[in-house]
Amino acid sequence: MSAIAAIATPDAPGGIAVIRISGESSLAVSDKIFKGQKIPSEMKGYTCAHGIIKDKDEEVDDVVLTVFRAPMSYTGEDVVEISCHGGRFITKKILRVILDNGADLAAPGEFTKRAFLNGKLSLTQAEAVMDVISSSGEKQLRVSNALKNGSMYRRVQGIKNMLLDMLSGLAAWADFPEEDVPESDPSTLLSQTCGIIEELKKLLSTYDSGRILREGIKTVICGKPNVGKSTLMNLLSGYQRSIVTDIAGTTRDTIEESVKLGELTLCLSDTAGIRDTDDKIESMGVDIAYQKIEESDLVLAVFDMTTPLDEKEKELIEHLKGRKCICIINKTDGESLIEKDMLYSSFENIVEISAKNDEGIDKLGKCAERLFDTDDTEGFDGVIVNERQKICIEKCLFEMYNAKAVLENGEMLDALTVVLDSALAHLLELSGESVSETVIDEVFSRFCVGK
């Protein structure tokens, strides 16, 4: 493949910056622009050299050039990385010199795409690369690294091997009748099919925890007007994200923000106060609040300690039963008039805080972490972290249910082979062993340039 190049470090001033070149002609391009004691094309892999980047006769910057020889590189191709001073202008100027001397500008994710195409990574491992980059906590980083190191790929390979075992037995019986190959036993095939179905269901069940780990916990703050929802939103956000006043109904639309609470990432939504109202716009906001509750992973239900529960709040309590919810009794700095006994009998998870005085937020964080304290070993065993993977597993599971029906109905084994072939195709698409160029382009289009 032709040489591609991009800046691999953030577009901001820093001590150093790195420009990456990959491809068959990467060393030839480097020979044209690097002047030092060593010639890049003559250097061994995993060696460095100090020298000058030159644009014709002009000295651009003194740099350290590192060579990685194929196939022992990230992309599986010859790779050159140039470490230069980290000014934005000088970094872009060096990139321009590289492009002027024969390299093409890399597209988003093109280095990792080449690693995938050259067999250095499976598609699930490649997808995990961006998860590592975007990790915002220890647990997310550990699981992302496990995925990058092949935990999901190995799990899928195990299911694929079970399918191949079934298909090879069916093929041997169908293709070599003269060899007296025994016909596959339908009861054994049904047992194998049910085993694969169970493995697929277990894998599919990891989607929610994988999505939460990758995207954050969809969290809605709800309650009646003036209980302190917006104050809590601003406190968790670290700045005034929602308008706070003593006027009921100030928040009419949903305010959204992503915040860190301990090791958790919360995708917070501050909703309109839940109450009966004749205001058409506010009423729409209340409807949206209930919709957000339905879509959420976590509800932070806020109640005002200084006022008794009203009928609308009692309705809300009933509505939240069975949901993952934390009851927040706010305004602990005031006189207690609320019916605490009713709240404590209705909710398993309760914290008392004063959002105004920043008191009790640590308790809220610990309570949320307990609710979403998943076992790290699940990530090391492989979890589904995006919609593409989920759809592939769902399609494979659908075909396996079809295979079960074929066996239970006593249909011809040729029909079973067709269904199992289709199931296998979906697994191969998941791992990237058989996938269209369109899907590949879609996966890597989400990457940053330079990775």
Q: Is the pLDDT of residue 178 over 70?
A: no
What is 384-435 written as a DSSP string?
A: --SHHHHHHHHHHHHHHHHHHHHHHTT--HHHHHHHHHHHHHHHHHHHTSS-
- pLDDT mean across residues, the chain: 86
Q: How confident is the model at residue 392 (pLDDT cuts 50, 70, 90)?
A: very high
* Residue where one domain finishes, among candidates 86, 106, 126: 106
- Higher-confidence position of 300 and 177: 300
Reported as half-sphere exposure (CB side, CA atoms, 13 A), residue 90 has a value of 21
Residue 264, H or E segment: strand 264-270
Residue 104, H or E segment: strand 104-105
Distance of alpha carbon 206 from alpha carbon 379, whole angstroms: 9
Quick one: 188 and 226 in the same domain?
Answer: no
Q: What angle do CA 253, 316, 236 make, to 5 degrees?
A: 50
Q: Is the pLDDT of residue 205 over 50?
A: yes
Quick one: 401 and 357 in the same domain?
Answer: no
Token pair, residue 388, equals 């593409």
What residues make up the domain containing 39?
Answer: 4-106
pLDDT for residue 226 = 85
Q: Is residue 412 part of a domain?
A: yes
Q: Is the pLDDT of residue 250 over 60?
A: no
Phi, psi of 349 (to 5 degrees): -115, 115
CB within 8 A of 390, min separation 6: which ones?
Answer: 204, 207, 384
Quick one: 406 and 305 in the same domain?
Answer: no
- The number of distinct structural domains making up the chain is 3
CATH number of the domain within which 20 lies: 3.30.1360.120
Provide the 3-class DSSP secondary structure of residue 301.
Answer: strand
pLDDT for residue 175 = 55
Quick one: 191 and 294 in the same domain?
Answer: no
Quick one: 295 and 409 in the same domain?
Answer: no
Mode of pairing for the β-strands spanning 298-304 and 325-330: parallel
Query: For 184-204, how does the pLDDT look when each residue is reduced to its tens digit (9 = 90+)?
Result: 788 889 999 999 999 999 999
Q: Is the pLDDT of residue 251 over 50?
A: no
Quick one: 69 and 99 in the same domain?
Answer: yes
> Per the omega criterion (within 30 degrees of 0), is the bond before 40 cis?
no
Which of 90, 77, 72 minimizes the C-alpha distance to 9? 90
Give strand ranges (E) for 277-337.
298-304, 325-330
Residue type, 136: S
Query: Please, what's the largest Cα pairwise distance for the chain?
Result: 90
CB within 8 A of 375, min separation 6: which ones?
Answer: none
Distance of alpha carbon 295 from alpha carbon 315, whole angstroms: 19
Whether the CB-CB separation of 43 and 31 falls below 8 Å is answered with no
Question: What average pLDDT does range 361-384 have in this prediction?
Answer: 76
Distance of alpha carbon 108 from alpha carbon 448, whole angstroms: 5
pTM: predicted TM-score of the whole model, two decimal places: 0.70
Phi, psi of 257 (to 5 degrees): -160, 145
Question: What average pLDDT does range 227-248 have in this prediction?
Answer: 66
Q: Is the pLDDT of residue 256 over 80?
A: no
pLDDT for residue 247 = 39
How far, CA to CA in Å, does 411 sit from each of 78, 175, 362, 400, 444? Answer: 54, 19, 61, 15, 42
* Residue where one domain finishes, among candidates 333, 348, 369: 369
